[in-house]
Structure 1
């Protein structure tokens, strides 16, 4: 299985200087979190108990008035523009309400990460396992989620944790959203999804990816098609043309065995690309496993 992607097979993804506090509430978070809320609501409404496993959970809540967020300005170009928008697709309603509930004084200072959104959406019979390998982030995550039932946090490698923690039967959704700091992230995602589906054939997944250049994304998607025998849906949001492979020019979501969300994903990705981008585009399409 390839572990190298991008031009000249050197893994063209330069480090994203990654601490999510710099990026919380940016355009990619809007795509990921609006889609995540739609997926969990669909799964909660359609059947019995659901287990959600988050491989790279982060700290759960982010301070948009903090030094990191103010330095990057990404929240101002993302969630603050969504909250101020006079018209946005209904698929963003859940995210807007969640952000509003955390900022009841009007000014948007706090932003919910995926753990907070997942915990808010699940029922008492559901379960959530949140993995975070950085000790300080994990400590903050435990504080953010304290007092909630049926939730466990694990300080460890999410790739190594998700498969043994996955129930062998029943409904499971894995959220795989790594920081892409390491060149083997793409290969580890594919390996993890293959192992997850072997353990539980009903397991579903949502994968988030940055888009910097098409070659890297296409190589990853080909790898998925070659190794994962499951229906998949890809949603791309490009906020600018892919002319500079050193920048994050967009993001992509890959849904594994989650059906019926083409229209919501199209609405989410198109609004972000058109409203928050410059010369960007969106598209949603299916992958056919080999």
Structure 2
């Protein structure tokens, strides 16, 4: 596969995904029960925004660069900005934290993180990013195959599914994985990130997901531009399966600000299925 997240780290989609993820982790911390977080496509963990990939794409400058300078960003972005500051030692934002670093940084003593990454080079970087964190595990493994297997049968579970969507069966694999996790633990929550290119692809995914799982489903669309070119990534979507708690208001502000401020005629849409 050709996808390398280093080209896209810190873009608008990362801001949406990571701000939402941190909100879920904050809400989970209100429950003293241990939390297990499983990341099916963990990536490298930390990304160099001054590296050639990020500089070539310019996506970080249009995403996290603009967020860092914004004065009107909603409070839901504050935990992400604070994490970036910790990662960079309070200095300029040269490095951007991926989901593994963000989760590991937020873990309580009773929690654990399992990150799966198949690419050997990315897995090696992931292990390095998680060094010194005994409660965080980096596996060179297929996250689709291991998500349900490694999910505890009871207690707090959050599974993050964020594949590159380059394989023809990725959408099918996501649905299967969500269903398997929910069969293993009916209280588990699953957060799925997806690209928005055209509505028919996304709507078909939602229909398949509804057929496969008996659980509340919350969809949050961040449309950065009109969805009139299916060959472009016109936005992104988050789908939360399981108890959404108070997530709706936060997602509304996260997605709305990103679409309206960073997009080109963008808009957000948050709804329950």
Q: TM-score range by the shorter chain?
A: over 0.9
1:144 aligns with 2:126: no
Shift of 1:260: 1.8
Residue equivalent to 1:218? 203
TM, length-normalised to structure 2: 0.97
For the 8 Å contact 1:124–1:149, the answer to whether it is kept is: no
Residue equivalent to 1:271? 257
1:259 aligns with 2:245: yes
- Please say which of residues 89-98 and 43-52 is displaced more in the overlay: 43-52
Consecutive unaligned residues in structure 1, runs of 5 or more? 1-14
Give 2:12's match in structure 1, choosing from 27, 48, 51. Answer: 27
For each residue in 1:168-224, what CA deviation from the matched residue of structure 2 results, as whole angstroms up to 9, or x when unmatched?
121110000001110100000000111111111111110000000000000000111
| Structure 1 Cα separation of the partners of residues 19 and 159 of structure 2 | 16
Give 1:42's match in structure 2, choosing from 16, 27, 30. Answer: 27
Shift of 1:47: 3.5
For the 8 Å contact 1:236–1:250, the answer to whether it is kept is: yes
1:68 aligns with 2:53: yes
Q: Which of the pair has the greater relative contact order for Cα pairs under 8 Å at 6+ separation?
A: 1
Residue equivalent to 1:282? 268
| Number of residue equivalences | 272
| Structure 2 Cα separation of the partners of residues 166 and 148 of structure 1 | 20
Over aligned residue pairs, what C-alpha RMSD do you find?
A: 1.1
| Structure 2 Cα separation of the partners of residues 53 and 104 of structure 1 | 27
1:83 aligns with 2:68: yes
For the 8 Å contact 1:28–1:251, the answer to whether it is kept is: yes
After superposition, where does 1:101-112 map in structure 2 within 5 Å? 101-104=86-89, 106-112=91-97
After superposition, where does 1:132-171 map in structure 2 within 5 Å? 132-171=117-156
Residue equivalent to 1:6? none
Residue equivalent to 1:10? none
| Structure 2 Cα separation of the partners of residues 220 and 158 of structure 1 | 19
| Structure 1 Cα separation of the partners of residues 69 and 221 of structure 2 | 24
Shift of 1:106: 3.4
Residue equivalent to 1:5? none
| Structure 1 Cα separation of the partners of residues 266 and 70 of structure 2 | 19
Consecutive unaligned residues in structure 2, runs of 5 or more? none
**3-state SS of paired residue (1:267):** helix
**3-state SS of paired residue (1:65):** coil
**3-state SS of paired residue (1:98):** helix
| Structure 2 Cα separation of the partners of residues 281 and 173 of structure 1 | 27
Residue equivalent to 1:227? 212
Give 2:168's match in structure 1, choosing from 183, 188, 196. Answer: 183
| Structure 1 Cα separation of the partners of residues 267 and 31 of structure 2 | 32
